[in-house]
Amino acid sequence: MLPVVATAAPTPADLPPYMQAYQPQGTDERGLWMLADEDERDLRDSKFVINDPALQAYVGSVLCRAVGEDRCRGVRIYLVRVASFNANMAPNGAMQVWSGLLLRVRNEAELAAVLGHEFAHFELRHSLAGFRRQRSATDIAAWAAFLGQYGPTIQQAAIGSIFQFSREQEKQADLLSLKYAIQSPYSAQAASHIWQRLMDEADATALGRKQRSQRYDRVAFFSTHPTNLERATYLSTLSADVAAKPEGTEGYAAALAKWLPDFLSDQLKLNDFGGTEYLLSSLAGDHWSAPLLFARAELYRLRGNPRDLVAAADFYKSALTVDSGLAEAWRGLGLCLMRDRQQAEGAAALKNYIRLRPQAADISMLNAMIGE
C-alpha cells in the first residue's frame, strides 16, 4: 500500500463529535461484548497485571490529555508485565498497555500517540465492525461452548484474533490519533519517531541473529498493521507542518523510574542480544544511567563470550561509579571477575554485594565461591 500523500495536516476541528459510551446492539455485538467482559475478568486477576496505582493513574492521565477528558472517562487501563511492544483496547472499554511498550517510548508524547491510536480503534468501533464480518450469531454460540471447555488461555487467543484490524482500519486509527495529538498538549511528531526506532530495533535484532533486515516487513503489533516504514513515512509527512509542543520527557522518566530495572530485566530474558543492545543505547543517548549500565553489563555477561566478560566488567564498574550502592552490580562484577580467573578481585566485589544484601537468597553459594 502506498503511503498517504497529504497536502495539509488535520486540524482539531476535524475531530468527530464524541458519543458517550455505547451499549452493543444486536446479537453479534452482545456476543463480542460478552467475550470481552469475560476476558477482562481473567485479565483483572492475572499475575501479570502490574498493581501500581500511581503508575496506572499516570498512564491514565496521559491518555486523558491525549484524547480529552470526555473520551477517556470510561476507559479502564490495565498495565501488563509483558516485555513486547504492544497495547490494545477491547470494545467494552478495557485497555491493555504492555511493559515492553512503556520501556520503549521515551516521553509522554510518544505514549500518548500509541494510546490515542488504540482509543481511535475503540471510537471507530473497528473490532465490532470486524466481528460482524467474521462471525455470525451461530459462530458466537459455538465459540462460547468451545471457550468454556478449554478455558481462558484459548479464550484470550481467540479474542486477540477477533481484534485484528485491516490495514485500512489501522490507517484510519493513525489519522484519528493524529487529530487527537493536534488538539492535545503533546507534540504531534512523536508518533513517527516511535516507528522509526522500532524499525531500527528490528534491524538490530535481525543483524544479531544473522537474518535479513525487517525494515520493510511487518514487525511488532498485529500482522495486519501497515509496515512500520509506511507508517513512519505518512505520520511524519502529516505532522511536518504542525507546531512543535512539549513532549514530557522528564515527567515520563520520573514515573517509570521505579519499574525501569524490572522492565530491563524482562528485556534481557528475551535472548535478543542485538535488539537489546540497540534498545539500551537508544534509551541512554548521551547519558548512561546506573540501571542502563547495569543492564548492559548483564547483557554481555549472560552471553558469556570471553571478550564479553571483559566488556561486562567494565560496564559494571561504570555503573558502580554512578551508584556505588547498586548491590547487583557488585554481584555481577564479582561473577565476571571470578570467571575471568581474577579470584581476589572477584571475591572483593562479591563481599561488597554480601555486605549490601546480607539476607539475599544466594549468600551461601557466594560464600562458598569465595571460600567463607
> In angstroms, rounded to a whole number, what is the distance separating the alpha carbons of residues 366 and 350?
7
Q: φ and ψ at 122, to 5 degrees?
A: -65, -50
Per-residue pLDDT tens digits for 271-283: 999 999 999 999 9
The three grid cell numbers given for residue 157, joined into one nine-digit string: 487467543
The three grid cell numbers given for residue 117, joined into one nine-digit string: 491510536
Is residue 56 within 8 Å of 77, Cβ to Cβ?
yes
Please name the amino acid found at residue 279. Answer: L
Is residue 102 within 8 Å of 263, Cβ to Cβ?
yes
Set out the domains of the chain in order of their start, with CATH numbers: 12-239 (no CATH), 258-369 (1.25.40.10)
The three grid cell numbers given for residue 71, joined into one nine-digit string: 473520551
If pLDDT is split at 50, 70 and 90, which confidence band does 6 have? very low
pLDDT at 372 over 90: no
What 3-state class would DSSP assign to 305? Answer: coil
pLDDT over 70 percentage in the chain: 74
Closest CA to 166 of 174, 157, 154: 174
Question: What's the average model confidence in pLDDT over 53-75?
Answer: 93
Q: Which of 104-113, 127-136, 183-192 has the highest mean pLDDT?
A: 104-113
CB crowding 317-354: b at 16 or more within 10 Å, else e: ebbbebeeebbbbbbbbbbbbbeeebeeebbebbbbbb
Closest CA to 176 of 254, 260, 113: 113
291 compared with 210, residue with greater pLDDT: 291
DSSP single-letter state for residue 49 = B
Per-residue pLDDT tens digits for 70-87: 889 889 999 999 999 999
What 3-state class would DSSP assign to 246? Answer: coil
Per-residue pLDDT tens digits for 299-324: 999 998 889 999 999 999 999 999 99
pLDDT at 14 over 80: no
If pLDDT is split at 50, 70 and 90, which confidence band does 247 have? confident
If pLDDT is split at 50, 70 and 90, which confidence band does 160 have? very low
Q: Within 10 A of 86 (CB to CB), how many other CB atoms are there?
A: 18
> In angstroms, rounded to a whole number, what is the distance separating the alpha carbons of residues 140 and 83?
32
